[in-house]
Chain A
Amino acid sequence: MKKEEFKNQEYKYGFTTEIENFKAPKGLSEETIRFISKIKKEPQWMLEWRLKAFNRLKILKEPNWQKPKYPEIDYQNLYYYSAPKSMKNKPKSLDEVDPKLIETYKKLGIPLNEQKRLSGVAVDAVFDSVSVATTFKGELDKKGIIFCPISEAIQKHPELVKKYLGSVIPISDHYFATLNSAVFTDGSFVYIPPNTRCPMELSTYFRINASGTGQFERTLIIADKGSYVSYLEGCTAPMRDENQLHAANVELVALDDAEIKYSTVQNWYPGDKDGIGGIYNFVTKRGACRGKNSKISWTQVETGSAITWKYPSCILQGDNSVGEFYSIAITNNHQKADTGTKMIHLGKNTKSKIISKGISAGQADNTYRGLVDIGAKASNSRNYTQCDSLLMGNKCGAHTVPYIKNKNSSSTIEHEATTSKINEDQLFYCNQRGLNQEEAVSLIVNGFCKEVLQQLPMEFAVEAQKLVSISLEGSVG
């Protein structure tokens, strides 16, 4: 097998699509922001909003408290907007979309063609800085569900965007969130009207293709009273020996009795065996349970990226609201993950549950960092946290940094964490029954992750299970 082919086996989404790009001028400046805003045909208020964030960014400093350190990012040497040339004038139907793009998504296993679709998944495909296509729009329209690229929502539903954009992640938040607010390009917008159950899974597929670019996507999901939506997110990028920045903001808003289920399978290019290349995944995800009895559930499978740094959080404002966080983070070779969640209990009788599974192999570092904060007014609240780490070899590290705050005598917080290696007896048992070492490890790891994998929607669960095995290939023996 040729070296190239072998490489592709390790990370099968590492190909590049040769396509002509249309880019913004290099560098971060007011012009770039005006350029993005103009090309997206945004209204004046949106531009002002971006500029406000940009002004704020000037006085902010990059955070440096997180465990994974990275070389300084030259923000002036990045492209903040890159789109396939054929997308300059937005195609009206799939037939007008560049066949090369469709081919790319086919290769990734993402059906843009509704006839050949996977059953019951509507997809919004984002390629670099633009949304390529959104499927099943018609069917969703009938129910009054809005599922479209956020750039389209800014034009068509300004009242909703104005009301909710930045209401969970304010533009004055930390450095990367503010950077995103200033230069975000595309992402998905979802609005579920009251008392509606979204009939299918909504999904966004993010693809970074162009080199020297950063991807800044922005997703906003609003579940109105009594509604339900399940949303999936997937992502891949080509193999390059440069580090690319991905700084996304995701905001969720759940009103009274609404429920949002947000699942991520993150498979950005993790860099090669020696830690060269890979995506810096610095993402801000936050959900607000605004209404009574609302629920937000985050599920994530983190296998890719050179550095992952994200904390999907829940702000439990409404009484009786529920926040959940299920996470698997797998790091191999030189990957570094610093991930966890924040559960901020403000309303009465709020509940949260955190299940985090970290697996480190090779020379990787895996950190769970979380906050559980029960406020003085959040009486009768409960939290349960469990974070387990699995280590393979003594060159990798597993760390747990939980912050636990309880300001209330009627609330209960429970936290548990363990760190161990794969049980020798279990391995021996599997070997005895004819599984080789790698199969055995994969089986045991899958069992270790089961609690989280179960939370994923069917279509994703199968894929995620395979991903777990592939990510650990070569880490045993």
Chain B
Amino acid sequence: MQDHQNKIINFEYAPSIESIDIVNIQPKNKLFIDGKFVEPTSKKYFASINPATGETLAQIADANAKDVDLAVKAARKAYTKTWSKLSGKERGRYLFRIARMIQERARELAVLETLDNGKPIKESRDIDIPLVAAHFFYYAGWADKLDYAVPGKEIKSLGVVGQIIPWNFPLLMAAWKIAPALACGNTVVLKPAETTSLSCLLLAQIFQDAGLPDGVVNIVTGAGETGAAIVNHPDINKIAFTGSTDVGRIIQKAVAHTDKKLTLELGGKSAHIIYEDAAIEQAVEGVINGIYFNQGHVCCAGSRLLLEESIAEMFVGKLKSRMEKLRVGNPLDKNTDIGAINSAGEYGKIKKLIESGIAEGGEYFEPSIQIPTKGYFQKPCFFNKVSSAFSLSRVEVFGPVLTISTFRTAQEAIMKANDTQYGLAAGVWSEKGSKIHKTAAALKAGVIWANTYNKFDPSSPFGGFNESGFGREGGRHGLFPYLSIK
């Protein structure tokens, strides 16, 4: 054969940056109470940072207990005067309209989410925002069929629900909370995480444009104190919280001795089991997606990889070469696989946990890829030959850090997978169906993926065991926490 020019072409992808012209970020962002954007009574604002650059994106209103009280009063009024009197069909129409408007403004929402959160545009565009719309569509469909959700029982809406959501999927978590609450006939006071308020405030504009009656959804921005004001407000009938286990504990204590209903979706340390008869190439991809999706800021991230000993070395080799191809960088670049860590605080926490892992003696690996020097960026990494006793095997990192250990038999895999105080999710890879079913049945986790990972759909319930919380979101089960069932 002729020897064609043997020079290696440097096939670097030129930057392909999504334009930010489509978003219009207000310098000052007010609270959304009773259908209007209002100044916080404190007149105080705090900064929201673009984690990819460290620059301030906007000022966000800091809601105090008085603002929360106004929001709860607006929600109560909307509940008694309008929302609880509407038929399910009419509530559904609002939700369908909101879902369509989210689709219409999908690109704007995706860009804003990426700017504020740091996640790659690829994910906000192809995963987050489509799922947000899908959740509203799904629960819009339930609104007039609630009588069939729990056959033979009498169901009723609860009243005003307080919802507190995290920063990892800001808009998606808002959709998970708001859509079922409204479908069931409740009104809402929602607090987004203090680092990621902007997309929820844009959602509030969509509520306005959709003509949603005033006060049905109120959005109060702020940090822990705002959240505490919601949790402790006497006129709230239910609290729904997604976030850390530590804060979950505080909330559960706070609502004890009250008649508030409570659901908690907390942390995880999910096991990802790869049997030797798995489809190896796809399993490697599943592991990558399981832990490095959304910078590892995923409560159900497959952060503990359990490999059958016979394939461990080969699998780790493949994982390493795959990681060399991950692109960490500007979240707005369409070719970025891993974006920015959401905040300075999280970045510091992840760094500290990596240091502790090195001190404990795990074999550390990170690829030799380039990452930006400005902003909060962390290379994807793993610790091999980790023992269950290591703190890194037990503590939720909530970042792109994987631990790897091995097992010899299915029993050992199951035992190791269940050796955790959490119980949110797990993954099992084998081409043998019976083995998957047997393993899945023995795993104590709310969600179990077989031959895939991190797949979400509004029709399938999500939630945990043990310290991962209680209550389910999504699917028919996701209606129950928002209904009184007799």
Question: Do they bind each other?
Answer: no
